[in-house]
Amino acid sequence: MRYANIRAHLNLSKEGLMRRFLVAGNWKMHGSSEMTADLISGVARRAFDAASLSEKRALAYDILVCPPAPFLVQAVHDADAQYISVGAQNVSQYDSGAYTGEVSLAMLAEVGCEYVLIGHSERREIFGESDQVIAQKFAACVGFGSEVIPLLCIGETLSQRKSGDTEKVVAAQLDAVLNEVGIEGFAKAVIAYEPVWAIGTGETASPEQAQEVHAFIRNKLRGLDKPIAEKIQILYGGSVKPANAEELFAQEDIDGGLIGGASLKVDSFAGICEVAQRLSHDRV
């Protein structure tokens, strides 16, 4: 079954076991049919070559790739039986209708997508998606069931950080979604903290800076529902590379990464996956 590994992870989390790492690649508007095949096969090969004998049948962490929409069908086909999940980069908040250029959750589910990015900073900044629209898209995922898991992206700009408004901005972005779906809506979801000033710039929040915001997010959710807060994966995104992934992933509240540029090459993405594999043993 296409969703077996994801469902198993969700069930483990419900039992209160330690959160698994998730290494997610956002390809943005990059790619081709050839690149899709090469990346997925290359990452899968490297992941299983590096795995221990006991992990050969199932990795101890999760891998996700989010290619552009034209390559989703191929990606799902190529990732099948590789323990690699496929997600979309965007979705409509509407079920169907006269919305030219949009894609619905039912369409994503039909082709085998297991995740969808919601509220990436480029959707907010370039395409003008408001907190309200993002909350509606998240709510659509919740209403659709757990077949397509929303991966909510939140984070502050450089000016907001310099003004000391990081927590205020992150809280407001979370509150917009909480007001729409309640804390229960996060029972089957993922959050990615992406400081906008570190996306594609080569700048990275220090492990301590990232952990501080991740802890703030988890504590905010913990005040509403402790079990949900403890189980939800919170990823870090912002110029993650093999060289800095270990320091970041070693932080208590960082459960992996949403990777941009480094997800476009087998060596760099697989290198980050190998960090998740090594550190997974510390989370058992």
Cβ distance 192 to 232 under 8 Å?
A: no
77 is catalytic: no
Closest by CA position to 277, among listed 254, 253, 256 = 256
How far is 133 from 251, CA to CA, in rounded Å? 32
Counting Cα atoms < 13 Å in the Cβ hemisphere of 79 gives: 29
Chain length of the chain: 284
What pLDDT score does 284 carry?
Answer: 62
Question: Domain segments of the chain: what residues?
Answer: 4-283
What pLDDT score does 156 carry?
Answer: 96
How far is 47 from 44, CA to CA, in rounded Å? 5
Q: According to DSSP H, which parts of 23-120 are helical?
A: 33-50, 72-79, 105-111
The one-digit pLDDT tens for each residue of the chain (284 residues) are 344 444 344 434 434 458 999 999 999 999 999 999 999 999 999 998 887 656 666 788 999 999 999 999 999 999 987 889 999 999 999 999 999 999 999 999 999 999 999 999 999 999 999 999 999 999 999 999 889 999 999 999 989 999 999 999 999 999 999 999 999 999 999 999 999 988 777 777 899 999 999 999 999 999 999 999 999 999 999 889 999 999 999 999 999 999 999 999 999 999 999 999 999 987 76
Counting Cα atoms < 13 Å in the Cβ hemisphere of 30 gives: 14
What pLDDT score does 9 carry?
Answer: 43
- The pTM score is 0.92
What pLDDT score does 203 carry?
Answer: 76
30 is catalytic: no
From 156, 194, 214, 274, active-site residue: 194
Q: Which CATH number fits domain 4-283: 3.20.20.70, 1.10.4190.10, 2.60.120.10, 3.40.50.1220?
A: 3.20.20.70
From 9, 120, 129, 156, active-site residue: 120
What pLDDT score does 189 carry?
Answer: 98
